[in-house]
Structure 1
Amino acid sequence: MGYAQEMAGRLPPGMVLPSEFREAFDWMEAQDFFMPSGAFPGDKLGLLGSEDDVQAGLITAILFRVATPQQARDDGRAWFGDVVRNIEERLVPFARTGSDGSHAAFWLDDEGTQRIVHLGSEGLVCLLGQTPLDFLRLLAIGYEEISDEGLSQPTAPPRRSGRNLAFRAWVSDRFGVVIPETAAQILGDVPGEFDESSEDPFWCWVRKQQNARDNQEAGDIS
């Protein structure tokens, strides 16, 4: 079984592995751009280059691996308690975006549209573009980490140039797109960690669910 097929098989009914991701995973497999997972023995982590490139800082530090249903359930309950029924069918992490434990995930919004979102370990949540190709273009820019440099300074280009050369060339050639200089050119306004309001739909959904969780917990205590 190929890597793309294996990862797609972990998604719940109602979610699909985008075709752009399938092609990216096939590209990784053709180049053998994988490293073994330490946390989940037997699993492989998809990379934008070789394992040596990771250590040398020549690629963006992102580790692709679709969570299993149980793992998605556990992660979702850590964020929202039990206020979102069958959270593992609504929110599935598919990549670690930083050394701080932040993740990118597939999210089904209330209209049933599948989106790509960020779940920050310190609470930063937002959409990661409007389409799967937006997400690949975001990665190709070459930030050290999406969860840190890319989202904390989205209007600035990467501090170090020359990352992701092979991946950048593949995305540009395969899809006929231009890679922007900054994350803001794809993401627009990124909500801050401590913002009290935002127009970002995922930010609004997360806050709504967390408020419901907090109200439920307050009611349980009283």
Structure 2
Amino acid sequence: MTFSQQMARAFPQSNPLPSALHQALQLLEAQGCLRTRRDGVRYMSLHPEAEFSAMATCAFYLPEPADSALWTASDDPEVNQRLVIFLRTGGDGSWAGLWRDDAGQQRVVHLGSGSGSLLLGVLTDSAEDLLRLLAIGYAELCWPEQFPLTPEEVREQDYEDDDYPPPPRLLREHVQQTLGLTVPPRAAELVQSTESMDAEQSSDPFWNWLKQVRGD
């Protein structure tokens, strides 16, 4: 079974893997972006090793139901199936997932590690916009202070050149040519919320849902 097939089967029927994400994963897998960590865990990079050999920070992983339960602090399957965590966004341990809101809409949400990024809320309102966001080319997507900057500006400001990945050529071409969508220069043009998990209150729907189900 391919990684993209495993990914599709790992999502619950009530919150399935969006077809746009499945299609992108199939493309990346066919072009040699599937990697294996030293501990045997497989993940999908945005780059073939020939283009960027370092371990990718932004990468797709098979979702684990236990990870959702850790965030929701719930043992109710119906609650936990509304949040599927599958995208690593930062070396600090931050993730993104697919959340089904009260109206049944699937949104992409961010879950900061708490020890680094505090970003907690809706990243994009669709899988297509997540692909556009990834195609911009940031090394990490967990730092809201970087969102008004281009990846080139972030690299010049915070990274050595050899530590920063090049733009994800395959994904960018797919978004622009196959999906017919634009790739903006900055994340701030796409990201819906930059809410902190430490905020006392928020208008972000995911922030409020998570606080509610956790009883915080």
TM-score range, shorter chain: 0.7 to 0.9
Take 2:27 and 2:127, find their aligned partners in 1: how far apart are those partners?
Answer: 16
- Paired position in structure 2 for 1:48: 46
CA shift for structure 1 position 189? 4.2
Q: Distance in 1 between matches of 2:16 and 2:192?
A: 26
The whole-number CA distance in structure 2 between the counterparts of 1:92 and 1:15 is 8
Worse-superposed segment, 129-138 or 10-19: 10-19
1:103-160: CA deviation from partner (whole Å, max 9, x where unpaired):
1111122233222111111142111211111000000111110113xx3322222223
Aligned length: 201
Residue aligning to 1:204: 208
Q: What displacement does 1:52 show? A: 5.2
Pick closer, same or farther for the CA change 1:165–1:88 going to 2, 3 Å: same
TM-aligned CA deviation for residue 167 of structure 1: 2.2
Larger relative contact order (CA 8 Å, sep ≥ 6): 2
Relative to structure 1, is the Cα distance of residues 127 and 56 closer, same or farther in structure 2, using a 3 angstrom cutoff?
same
Same amino acid, percent of matched pairs: 34
CA RMSD of aligned residues (A): 2.3
How far off is 1:56 after superposition?
A: 5.2
Q: Is the 8 A contact 2:122 2:192 kept in 1?
A: no
Correspondence for 2:148: 155
- CA drift at 1:13: 2.1
SS at match of 1:206: helix
**Which one of the candidate residues 85, 90, 93 is aligned to 2:76?**
85
Shift of 1:28: 0.9
1:101 maps to 2:127: no
Which aligned pairs between 1:34-73 and structure 2 lie closer than 5 A?
Answer: 34-39=34-39, 41=40, 43-51=41-49, 53-55=51-53, 61-67=57-63, 71-72=64-65
Which entry has the higher C-alpha Rg, 1 or 2? 1
C-alpha distance in 1, partners of 2:206/2:145? Answer: 17
Aligned to 1:16: 16
Task: Give, in whole Å, the separation in 2 of the partners of 1:144 and 1:201.
Answer: 27
Letter in 1 for 2:80: E
Q: What is the CA-CA distance between 1:45 and the residue it aligns to?
A: 0.8
User: Any conservation in 1 of the 2:123–2:193 contact (CA below 8 Å)?
Assistant: no
Q: Following TM superposition, by how much is the alpha carbon of 1:48 offset from its aligned partner in structure 2, in angstroms?
A: 0.8
TM-score (structure 2 length as normaliser)? 0.82
Equivalent position of 2:162 in the other structure: none
Q: Which amino acid aligns with 1:7?
A: M
Q: After TM superposition, what 4+ stretches of structure 1 lie above 3 angstroms from structure 2?
A: 51-57
Say if 1:12 and 1:88, in contact at 8 Å, map to a contact too.
no
Q: 1:186 to 1:168 in 2, by over 3 A?
A: same
1:126 is aligned to: 121
Q: Partner of 2:109 in structure 1?
A: 117
Secondary structure of 1:92 counterpart: strand
Q: Unaligned regions of 5+ residues in structure 2, if any?
A: 157-165
Aligned counterparts of 1:152 and 1:192: Cα–Cα separation in 2 = 12
Task: Name the CA shift for 1:21/1:126 in 2 (closer, same or farther; >3 Å).
Answer: same
1:173 is matched with which residue? 177
Give the 3-state SS of the residue equivalent to 2:110 in structure 1. strand
Residues 64/189 of structure 1: CA separation in 2 closer, same or farther (3 Å cut): closer
